[in-house]
Structure 1
Amino acid sequence: MSILLQMKDIHKVYPNGTAANRGVDLTIHEGEIHALVGENGAGKSTLMKIMFGLEAPTSGTIEYKGAPVTFHGPKDAIRHGMGMVHQHFMLAPSLTVSENIVLGEEPRKGPLSLFRDRNKESQEIEKLIQTYGLKVDPQAKVETIPVGQKQRVEILKVLYKGARLLILDEPTAVLTPQETDELFDSIKALIKQGYTIIFITHKLREVMEISNRVTVLKAGKTIATLLTKDTNPEEISRLMVGREILFRVDKQPSVPQDIVLSIKELCASDDKGAPALCGITLDIRAGEVVGIAGVEGNGQTELVETITGLRKAISGEIRYFNEELIGKSIAQIRAMKIGHVPEDRQTTGSSLTSTIAENLILDHYRNPEFKWGPFQSKKKIKQFTKIMMDVYDVRAQNEDVMAGSLSGGNLQKVVIARELSKNPKLLIASQPTRGVDIGAIEFIHREIIKKRDGGAAVLLVSAELSEVMALSDRIAVVYEGEIVAVLENSSELTEEEIGYYMLGLGIKKQKEEVAAQ
């Protein structure tokens, strides 16, 4: 394969002294899927921003198709046939799919191109969708379509602008396994048509499945570039983290105690008013992890939001140590030793316009440990924040860095640190390791089990079935807003059996078994 792009000895030092890249070399071959991996803070995002013209390198050179290039902004990169799909979608929710795709590049007609050519736009979008097999309704409002389709809209946007080299930043972070499979099919189809893909991910299984080559970054430097077929997850993780990573969770059998959370006949609606939860009944005891398994969109989000006060229940009970939670405010619930790691770290998990320190004490800044007499003690807050940043490996210059400037993985660590540092008696963890690197995943898993062993009740929701199976003592499977099975997690339990219930096929099986008794 011919070389499409080369980045040589790239350095990036910010005015505050932070060195994000320290001599990175990256070579991309035309027509390949090239994976870029590294821990949170390894310099991946900065490198891609430099490649796409969002940042200027402090030193180093970029060659595109054999010629030196300097990008003064994304428009320069786009003119050279590059496109970037960001980890957090850059879409206008109130506009249609079609309007989002052509935004800024709308076809025009009439004198002086004064009028928008809706017919031409419709024809171009239909042709684009058919050509690349990225099926989505062009007339649907973006706010109404599933996450997987939003991902397709982002890809169609860059293809519409003529991109031949696509940078996909954590493209599967918010996708279900089924949506991920569909995305991979689309990526493979693009490669067959001569496109080149840079694929940034923390999921080594995806690296092995989809990429031709993989480059590992660590502490802002290139550690190695490997042929994917000649390596394995263990070698990649060792290069990323600098040590062996356990791809299993070491834990002792649980010793369940008293019921901490009791849910009875709970019903709730989704954002459109349609039924989302239908008679959910579940008990969670101190000293156990209960995992929720199910294809995303089957009520997991509504269940967590109803428990934590973010959504109103229609009927039923949610009792926490025999105290009813329904009707209580979010503040009241959070003051009851209930920790909540939300699935969306940006909108409900943090304040992006506040500092790391402010986020870490967001709902317990009135605690005596942060006071000096009647006043807040900046010294105590700073000490606490430094400890949390060290323990949870939050990589930032200092505690005064704005949360919105952190990478997705580092922001997730801030949320995890805040919720676990409160020593909750009930921990509700929704997608706790989404977007974090393998070293951090190992640490978060350990901390969740530590909370369980310390007597906390844990409700775990994850789109990663392997994570649910690794951490849970019992697994409740949801399908269309109902719990269709509660399974003891033993060595005999398989993903296939859980998947059977996740697809709704186990309901019939259970009824047949009951009838036969």
Structure 2
Amino acid sequence: MDYVIEMLNIRKEFPGIVANDNITLQLKKGEIHALLGENGAGKSTLMNVLFGLYQPEKGEIKVHGKPVTISSPNDASDLGIGMVHQHFMLVDTFTVAENIILGKEPKKFGKIDKEQAIQQVQELSDRYGLKIDPAAKVSDISVGMQQRAEILKTLYRGADILIFDEPTAVLTPQEIKELIQIMKNLINEGKSIILITHKLKEIMDACHRVTIIRKGQGIRTLDVASTNKDELASLMVGREVSFKTDKKAASPAEEVLQIQDLTVKDARGIEAVKQLNLSVKAGEIVGIAGVDGNGQSELIEAITGLKKSESGTIMLNGKAIQNLPPRKVTESGIGHIPQDRHKHGLVLDFSIGENISLQTYYQRPYSKFGLLNMKNIYQKAKRIIAEYDVRTPSEYTEARALSGGNQQKAIIGREVDRNPDLLIAAQPTRGLDVGAIEFVHKRLIEQRDAGKAVLLISFELDEIINVSDKIAVIFEGSIVAIVDPKETTEQELGLLMAGSTQQEVGKEANV
């Protein structure tokens, strides 16, 4: 059998932890091979070994049958290996083309040849069906387009073997479909792909084979055609997983959040939220469904005090909170699980214990006369770590050393522990595996059942339908429809999210 990549019995250790324990992964030419595992199972570590970011303690790597030593990403690049990272490595102020050629610029008379760069990027984009504008500034394009820029960056450097690290964690359902098509275009052109994921639907839709790892060990490699989602989930987690969210019917009580005629501008001064109206009651989960870029971020920022609103009112328990400073908003009874845990949820260089105290460190018993009581801070952290099953060597471990799922559990623990009246959960399961998703959904429903109001913003339509008691569809900054999750479908929601009216959708459903 001809393999383009063979990782044989790879062992990678960090202080106090074996991240990869004798794992073998073999990639065939022209296949999409999934690497499946829970958060913290060792998937990214294994791929970072292949990409030259880490050196293994044991094991052998072969490329096209020849043993190789990959000491750095440059070595990987020279061997035709490219990696599309989960957190994009792009310079916001540069154009797409400038980002792609960075470090490998075409020259003419000793100067960077921008025209040639744009032409080369355009040709690559057309060839693989990426449909991206090379002249667009990265800060102005959607997350899905930024990811395409990352893919182009690897192709521009001549990669034949592409590693995609959780590529759909930040994409809308439509963008996921397009990305799967792009991956298929790539393998039709002779590329080979390793897809790190824990989204089972995507494995079933896109992949040929799947290697499952659990707690750092290789469990099995299967042909996708001969397996199913249930088998993959139990192999990944080590137990049966429920895909259906168990919850009793909601008993909504008094109104907790009331938004009337809210208008908010985005960073460019354009109205992103327009005359928006929304209500969330105690004891219910209201889900907001919409394509990314329709005002969701600005809406959350206005509610949480991170952005000023132009007009309209935001009432929490009958009191106006619009344009209050973030701390005042938080203290008025709002918990916020932010959509970008790295930018807005954590200070990555702080310990996980310090991060858990970020909303309360200035209050007693965590500080007195301006001095922090670290003993109490870490005691609280220890309790939340145990309660929310945050897997970390200790409460003193740096936040950046934890897997995405464990970082997310720490944030949820921090926010829920404050017992807020309104919990805003923005993309709460982004990048999480089925076990962690099940955990997060249970916590959101527990909050609802404890009589709290929950506002859920998610691009995962199955999550919105599964978890919400009521779905508000946002389009171009306004709520255009309120639907009952028990009476709608992903198809109907997709049409509403794309701007169809409820009457039109009703007609289409009756056709």
TM-score, normalisation: structure 1: 0.95
More off after superposition, 346-355 vs 85-94? 346-355
Amino acid at match of 2:498: L
- Equivalent of residue 270 in structure 1, options 255, 266, 272: 266
In 2, Cα distance between equivalents of 1:495 and 1:136: 27
Q: 1:349 aligns with which of 345, 350, 369?
A: 345
Aligned to 1:62: 61
Give yes or no for contact 2:51–2:70 (8 Å, CA) kept in 1: yes
* Structure 1 residue 117: Cα displacement: 2.6
Once residues 346 and 246 of structure 2 are traced to their aligned partners in structure 1, the CA distance between those partners, rounded to angstroms, is: 30
The corresponding residue for 1:5 is: 5
> Deviation of residue 493 (structure 1)?
2.6
Residue 159 (structure 1) aligns with: 155
- Measured after TM superposition, the shift of residue 142 of structure 1 is 1.0
Aligned to 1:471: 467
TM-superposed CA distance for 1:248, in Å, is 0.7
- What residue is the counterpart of 1:380 in the other structure? 376
Shift of 1:511: 12
- Structure 1 position 462 matched with structure 2 position 458: yes
- Corresponding residue for residue 496 of structure 2: 501
Kindly tell me the number of residue pairs found equivalent between the two proteins.
507
The structural deviation recorded for 1:380 is 2.8
**Identical counterparts, % of pairs:** 48
Note the alpha carbon deviations across 1:442-495, whole angstroms, 9 max, x for none: 0110010000000100011000111011111111111111111112332x3322
- Corresponding residue number in structure 2 for 1:515: none
**Contact kept? 2:37, 2:213, Cα under 8 Å:** yes
Q: Distance in 2 between matches of 1:374 and 1:163?
A: 54
- Is the CA contact 1:410–1:436 (under 8 Å) kept in the aligned structure 2? no
DSSP 3-state at the match of 1:167: strand
Cα distance between partner residues in 1 of 2:491 and 2:63: 46
Please tell me whether the aligned partners of residues 492 and 505 of structure 2 are also in contact (alpha carbons under 8 angstroms).
no
Gaps of 5+ in 2: none
Partner Cα separation in structure 2 for residue 106 and residue 510 of structure 1 = 49
Distance (whole Å) between structure 2 residues aligned to residue 119 and residue 293 of structure 1:
41
What secondary structure, in the 3-state scheme, does the structure 2 residue paired with 1:505 have?
A: coil
Partner of 2:72: 73
Paired with 1:465 and 1:493, the residues of 2 have a C-alpha distance of 11
- How much has 1:369 moved relative to structure 2? 4.3
Instruction: Give the SS at the match of 2:343.
Output: coil
Instruction: State whether structure 2 residue 448 is matched by structure 1 residue 448.
Output: no
3-state SS, counterpart of residue 415 of structure 1: helix
Say which is worse superposed, 448-457 or 124-133, in terms of deviation: 124-133
Map residues 228-239 of structure 1 onto 2, 5 A cutoff: 228-239=224-235
Query: Contact 2:122/2:133 (CA < 8 Å) preserved in 1?
Result: no
1:299 Cα deviation after fit: 1.5
Distance 1:375 1:105 in 2: 51
CA offsets 1:167-213 (integer angstroms, 9 cap, x no match): 00011111111111111111100110110000011211111111000
Residues 267 and 104 of structure 1, relative CA distance in 2, 3 Å threshold: same
Partner Cα separation in structure 1 for residue 368 and residue 214 of structure 2 = 41
Whole-angstrom CA distance in 2 between matches of 1:42 and 1:198: 16
1:310-349 maps to which residues of 2 (within 5 A)?
310-349=306-345
Superimposed CA distance per residue, residues 49-86 of structure 1 (whole angstroms, 9 cap, x where no aligned partner): 10100000011111111111111111111110000000
Q: Find the aligned partners of 2:23 and 2:502 in 1 and give their Cα distance.
A: 53
1:288 aligns with 2:287: no
Deviations 1:294-327 (A, max 9, x none): 1221111111111111111111111101110012
Which amino acid is the alignment partner of residue 193 of structure 2? I
> Structure 1 stretch 296-305 or stretch 426-435: which is displaced more?
296-305
Pairs within 5 Å for 1:109-120: 109-110=108-109, 114-120=110-116
Equivalent-residue separation in structure 1 for 2:63 and 2:191 (angstroms): 15
Query: Structure 1 pair 304/372, CA: closer, same or farther in 2 (3 Å)?
Result: closer
Deviations 1:350-405 (A, max 9, x none): 11221111110101013334358985433332232223223323222222222223
After superposition, the CA RMSD in angstroms is 1.7
> Deviation of residue 151 (structure 1)?
0.7
CA separation of 1:43 and 1:327: change in aligned 2, threshold 3 A = same
Cα-to-partner distance string for 1:419-448 (whole Å, 9 max, x where unaligned): 122121110001000011110100110010
Instruction: State the Cα distance separating 1:506 from its structure 2 match.
Output: 1.6
In 1, Cα distance between the equivalents of 2:220 and 2:90?
A: 35
Matches within 5 A, 1:7-46: 7-14=7-14, 16-46=15-45
Does structure 1 conserve the Cα–Cα contact (< 8 Å) formed by 2:405 and 2:433? Answer: yes
Report SS of the residue matched to 1:89: coil
Task: Work out the CA distance in 2 between the residues paired with 1:6 and 1:496.
Answer: 41
What code does the residue aligned with 1:152 have? R
CA contact (8 A) 1:97 1:138 kept: yes
Q: Distance in 1 between matches of 2:302 and 2:371?
A: 35
1:93 — aligned with what?
A: 92
Cα distance in 2 between the residues matched to 1:353 and 1:410: 15
What's the CA shift for 1:508?
A: 5.3
**SS, match of residue 347 in structure 1:** helix
Of stretches 299-308 and 385-394 in structure 1, the one that deviates more from structure 2 is: 385-394
C-alpha separation in 2, matches of 1:481 and 1:192: 39
Which stretch shifts more, 187-196 or 410-419?
410-419
Worse overlay, 367-376 or 55-64: 367-376
Aligned residue type for 2:113: D
Residues 23 and 415 of structure 1: is their aligned pair in 2 closer, same or farther, counting only changes over 3 Å?
same
Shift of 1:18: 1.9
Q: State the Cα distance separating 1:152 from its structure 2 match.
A: 0.7
Of 167, 190, 194, the residue aligned with 1:194 is 190
TM-score (norm 2): 0.96
Deviation at 1:510, TM superposition (A): 9.1
